[in-house]
Amino acid sequence: MKKVLILMGILLIPIFFIILNNTGRGSVAQSNVIFRDRLSDYDLFKGKIADLIPNDEGISFELASGLFTDYAEKKRIIFLPKGKKMIATDDGLPIFPDGTIISKTFFYDQKDILQRSRPLLLETRLLINKNGQWNAATYKWNTAQDEALLLKDSTTVPVSFLDKRGVERHTNYIIPSPKDCVACHRQGNNLLPIGPKIRNLNRFLSDENDTVQQLVQLKNKGFLDLKSRTGFNSLPNFDATDESTIHRARAYLEINCAHCHNPKGTAYMTMLDLRYESPMNETGIWLKQAKIIGRMSVLGEMHMPQKGTTVLHDEGILLIKSYLESMK
């Protein structure tokens, strides 16, 4: 029982913490972007919109460690204004030019009657940088899978799917509202992207029977101003069993928890700073602290991340449990 309490101290937080944090920090700065009603109105994709092939101003990217969202797959694309580049200055977020659009489409791979794999597109989230401020919106894909429509409120979609272990799962997948997006992307009084930090982009990709370094690829294709690859850290893949448990767990906490659990995040009052770069003695990840928060949590009361999850991440729980046990 004590192990469960410790685990829940990291993966779950009490509801009243969220209420306090969301009401005590003032408004979030945004740029009054008028989001278009249909995803196709942005002309972000070539050919059939459901194929998610970016136009000439867009490039797909992958993260070393990605956010868990009910085992959904994701297609991530950055669109930059013509002639503009991101600028890498340190391990964190690059400097994005005004007019940048980051899209993330959530889907499940399903089989048709001939056992051919086909994606079931659920939602596309957009972050648009205007006048130095980020603005968030969500688009829900229709049944015909030929358009996604702007949402004003959150909604649910019943989904059946197989997880990575081949286990059949059923859930009412949650598509968040723009207000829900603020809960995770809020840093102080601003919205910021979470995933595309330089250390999380600093990885190798498989490309036509070859491997390419993603930062180099982004530079060579004109999307990233990168003076040198040296000096940048690389976030581990938390699924990579050849990495140490400590590094894998810290990477998992970074991408799934640290956007709220940091001094500027919405869960700052939990006294946990789960950013990967934070020294261990400043994270609050020690057994006494974890036990205190764990006693205030109930298994199943709230899934983490705070928004967009309805099922527990079994593999993530095992990883964090192993990590905490290694600290004894």
Highest-confidence segment of 159-173, 239-253, 273-287 = 239-253
Residues ≥6 apart with Cβ < 8 Å to 323: 245, 246, 248, 249
Q: Is the pLDDT of residue 280 over 70?
A: yes
Residues 67-102 have pLDDT tens digits of 999 999 999 999 999 999 999 999 999 999 999 999
Q: Is the pLDDT of residue 52 over 50?
A: yes
What's the token pair of residue 25? 């920090």
Residues 177-187 have pLDDT tens digits of 888 887 788 78
Residue 21 vs residues 116, 273, 275: alpha-carbon distances, Å: 46, 15, 18
Residues 128-166 have pLDDT tens digits of 999 999 999 999 999 999 999 999 999 999 998 887 778
Q: What is the pLDDT of residue 296?
A: 33
Q: Is the pLDDT of residue 209 over 90?
A: no
Place of tokens 């330089």: 198
CA–CA gap between residue 211 and residue 127 (Å, rounded): 29
Determine whether 129 is exposed, middle or buried from the number of CB atoms within 10 Å of its CB (0-12, 13-18, 19+): buried
- Average pLDDT across the chain, whole number: 83
Q: Is the pLDDT of residue 7 over 60?
A: no
Of 99, 124, 136, the C-alpha closest to 259 is 136
pTM summary value: 0.85
